[in-house]
Every structure is written in structure tokens, then in C-alpha cells.
Structure 1
Amino acid sequence: MIAIDIKRKLYPAKGKADNHLVMADFQLAVNSGEFVCLVGPSGCGKTSLLNIIAELDNDYEGHIGFGQQEKPPKIGYVFQNPRLLPWRTVRENIELAIAQKPSSNNIDALLDAMQLTPFQHVYPERLSLGMSRRVAIIRAFAINPDVLLMDEPFVSLDAATARQVGHLLINLWQQRPHTVLFVTHDLREAIALADRIVFLSPAPMKIIAESTVGIPRNERGNEQAVETFRQRLLQDYPEII
């Protein structure tokens, strides 16, 4: 599990005497194996939160706990930008993320699950954006993470491609379950993916509402079911609009 307790997170405010308060007394618990989507406006602190969990940002007051683990968890991170090295092939980009000698069988299985086996020896410049994002997801899964952080991994994709990549992601996650924190602006996307949705306020970031997703996973591909649930959320929690 992840236990988040951030007392205060500040950023310098350009041209102002006071710093910008991003988070204050922010608490969130994520259960082991849970897929949680964070939904909130731009600039509210979602990426900052992921960076804190990943220990890319230690300039805050508070604590991030990971249950009773004796050693720090392995964290996979899928950024908004796929961040593929252009001089490495798809397979080489994946292998670079793995500290020990990479398992060919593991990488083969991930490439197959994301429908990228025919492109494993292709360089990133020949990939579509959707394919590049799939490579980034494979790279994060390849380390067998305990926690997977995903920062708007489908941004800039058209709706059909985003649905396709989301479907592949869920299939892969169900095969290799672990704890996921997924940032998105798209409520429909959150409903299609999450076990639980957490709605966040503008900075300083607060939780304004939470909801489990009451649609069986085998029905998440039904756009009408997703839209009906979305309308229900907007009716029950008008503050999330």
C-alpha cells in the first residue's frame, strides 16, 4: 500500500515574496494492488505528488510510507513524454531500464501483450505517438514494479488510440497486478480504468470527492455504461465539475 501524508509542499513564486503553496495537509491511502486515478485541474499538484512518491522531489514536509516492506518498493514511472532514446531501438530502450541482465522471455511477453513484437528493432522516429507510449508502458512494467506511477500517459492521443492503449494497459495490469496511481484530466478515461477515482481541487491540492467505479471491468468497453456512470458522478458530486 501507499500511505501519503504531505504536511506542506511549496514552489518558489516568480516575482512574488511568498512561495506558491502546492499541498497542505494532504493525505491519501492507496491499497495494495489498487488502481487509483487522480483527476484534477492543471497545476493543482498531481505531477508534483507523483514526483514526491518516486523520490524525484524531496523538498517537502511530510512522509510517504509503503506498508510493512523491509526494503523500498520498486517504482515504475510512465511520464507524459515517452522519453525514448532516439539512437536505441524499441527493445534496447526497454532493456536499458532493467538493472540486471534483462530476461528475453519477459520482454518478449511484454512486447506481445502491447502488440509491438513486429516493431521491437525499430527506432523511435518510425513509431507513432501511440506506439511510443506503449513502449514507455512496457519499459515501466519490465522492472516488475511494486508501484506504477502514470502521469497522463495517453495525453495528445486521439480518442480511439487512447481507448486501445488503455485496453492493452488493463489487460497487462490484470496479468501482472500491482499498485497504480494514474493521473488524468479525462473523467471517462478514469472510469474506464480505475478501481477508485480521487477528485482533486486547485492548489493547494485537496481531495474534494472520491468514488469507487461501480461498473464491472468486463463492461468498461461499453461507452454508454461509462457515460451513464459519468453523469451519475457529476450529479452526486457537482463540486468536481
Structure 2
Amino acid sequence: MRGCAVPLIPSEGPVLTPTAAPSFGQTHFSGLDLGDARVNRRIIDLADILVAREAESWSAAFADPADARALQRIVNRPQATHASVRATHTRVTLDRMARTEDVVLVLHDTTELDYSGRAIRGLGPIGNSHGRGWECHNARAAVARTGAILGLANQIRHRRVEPAVTAAEGMAGRRDRESQHGGGTGGHGGARGGTGGHGGTRRRAAPGCTCATGAPTRSSSWSNSWVRAGRS
């Protein structure tokens, strides 16, 4: 009949309801296996907390005592190594690179992880060799045309070799310490070579590194490597 609406009869089968898009944690860590299903689910939640509060410190992001305890338990698990935790994220990133039609830019940068003053085994010199920690080299993949971040294609934690101290450098360090206590060069103001300030300690920055001042610092130079999608 003209002008009459025909009612729609639903087809047989389950009714589909819209589902929320997977969260950051679900996307990048759902395949992670740290030996316990509860731990695997918890690390997804913790990753989502970090992303939601990325501008805050870790202590502020995990202000909830339950979250802080969960993080402590996870990082103390022997299965939670640097390589195992980032493995699923790296696979997701490489898959995104392979599926990207545009040119992919891989940005290389080294961040200093500063643990000076802490009793942690395996630390090496950082900055001008007066600090202790690790060098963390990051390879971040991004779409060249839009700047969209795809993720970390790789990340290497590196410990620098302890610098060898020559006899001459040892004597220089001794004279510097004496100058700080008023011996040898006349107390304060005994800096040599025009360095000025209190004491005569001369600090030479290691090649390619920056001076660590407390919080992790980034190196001043970025090296850009243009690659085709899916190639490193």
C-alpha cells in the first residue's frame, strides 16, 4: 500500500552491540606473558594508567597504593625483563611499519637513565662520568608525512665502559681535591684553566654525551634515518 511503512523484521542470530576500541595497554601488551594470567592483565591496566597520566611522575601516576604495589610486584618478577616487557610492543610497531604505505622515519635518540647514589649492580658512567646509570638508545618509528608515532622499533639499554684513569689524570684529580680543601692552590678559587667557581675540579664531557644533573636527560643531537615501510 502506498505510503505505508514496512516494519523491519530482525534477522535471526545474536544482536551485535558496538564495542569500544582497544586501549593502549590492550593493543601493545595483550600478548605479553610473564608467567601469570593475573600479572598479564595487570600490566595492561598499569600501561593504560601511564598513558592517561603521561605528564606526571611515576609516583604521582601510581598514587593509588594498590597500583604502586602491583607495579613493584611486577618489576620484581624474574620474567619481567627489559626484552620481555617490550617484545609485544615492538612486534606491534614493526607490523604497523610494514602496513604503512608512506615513508617511515626512524628517529634515534639516547636518554640517560640516572641512578646516581643508588646501590644498584651493573651501572656504568653517564654524562661526564661523574654520574651512574645506563644509556637507553631509542629507535622511534613515525610516519614522515603526518608525524604519527608508530612506536618503538627497538630500544637498547647500554652500559658504558668505565673510563681508564692514567697516572697523569690521577695526579690531576688529587691536586683538584687538595684545592677544594685549601691545599696546593690556595683554597677556594683554585680552579685552573679559567674554569672559575669553588674548587679546581675540571669536568670533561665524554664524547657524544651530556652532563647528567639529576633527572634523566636527553642527548642534544637527533639522527634521522629515512627508511621504507617495513625496512630497517
Length-normalised TM-score, structure 2: 0.28
Between Structure 1 and Structure 2, whose CA radius of gyration is higher?
2
Relative contact order (alpha carbons < 8 A, sep ≥ 6): 1 or 2 greater? Answer: 1
Structure with greater proportional strand content = 1
TM-score (norm 1): 0.27
